[in-house]
Amino acid sequence: MSSAKRYSPEEKAISKVKYSLKGLLLFILPMPLLIAAIASLVRGEILHTFISAGAFVGFMVAATVAREGFKREGQYNRRRFAKAPSTPFKTVAALLLATSTGLTSMFATNNSLPESVLLGAAALLGFYLSYGLDPNKDKTGGISLNVSADEVIDALEAAEVKILGIETARKRINNLELDQHLKRIVKKARDILVVIEEDPKDLDRARKFLKVYLEGTQRVTESYAKTYGKEATTDVLDANFKRVLSAIEKTFDEQQEKLKENDRFDLDVKIEVLETQLKQEGIS
């Protein structure tokens, strides 16, 4: 198996910043319209106020839609297996930008219809050259196995939802030791997802593990976080939760190594042990 690129929270954070800043000019360039609207209002020119304000709103809507498109594009680019965005946000934003430009040209600056259409087309072309349009093909990684690309994508997305649930619950628990346990578990889970992306034939062997262990971890973490939020935890409960997290963390390590070695893993025994332990500890 090819070596998997390890998941890096820093890289993900940098990518989020990159795509949140992308298109920042789309928010900045229309600002003169807001200033013009305020100036018209001060002068009592109601019609010009509405025209300038309407144009400003149009550009802001286009910029907001574009930002959502950039975010989804970033998620698509980060993954080896991904579905193309179902809604073409960037395309919609480009059309909104072109329309807003044309209408502003016609009503705010009194240009002729042909001139306004030309300016709108120029805005559309400028957006396309600067940002491109939406991805329109699913990324399947050239998969040709007994598992379909949709199965791989759906399994990875479902696992990511569970991981995000664990992260959300973790932030509600103000305990450094537990926080470090959960951070390591989240990282190991994402490392396993990377291994599956690198070699999708591992999906069948990892599917039950991802489903049961991630669900178990999410359930027990959310349950503990809820109890913690009510200030109803006890020393016994804390100790039980730490033991469960340690057992889960160890199993994640074992599963990742087995996947890398293309070896079988006795999940049924491990899963039975986990479920029994959760019931015995009283935190399931």
Lowest mean pLDDT among 32-46, 105-119, 180-194: 180-194
Residues 6+ away with beta carbon under 8 Å from 190 = 7, 163
pLDDT digits (tens, 9 = 90+) for 59-106: 999 999 999 999 889 888 877 777 788 899 999 999 999 999 999 999
Residue 7: which pLDDT band, with cuts at 50, 70 and 90? very low
Q: Please give the C-alpha separations between residue 236 and each of 116, 262, 275, in angstroms, as whole numbers.
A: 72, 39, 19
| DSSP assignment of 213-275 | HHHHHHHHHHHHHHHHHTT---HHHHHHHHHHHHHHHHHHHHHHHHHHTT----HHHHHHHHH
From the CB of residue 268, how many other CB atoms can be counted at a distance below 10 Å?
10
The pTM for the full model equals 0.61
Q: Which residues pair with 139 in a beta bridge?
A: 82
Q: How many CB atoms lie within 10 A of CB 68?
A: 15
Confidence of residue 145 (pLDDT cuts 50, 70, 90): low
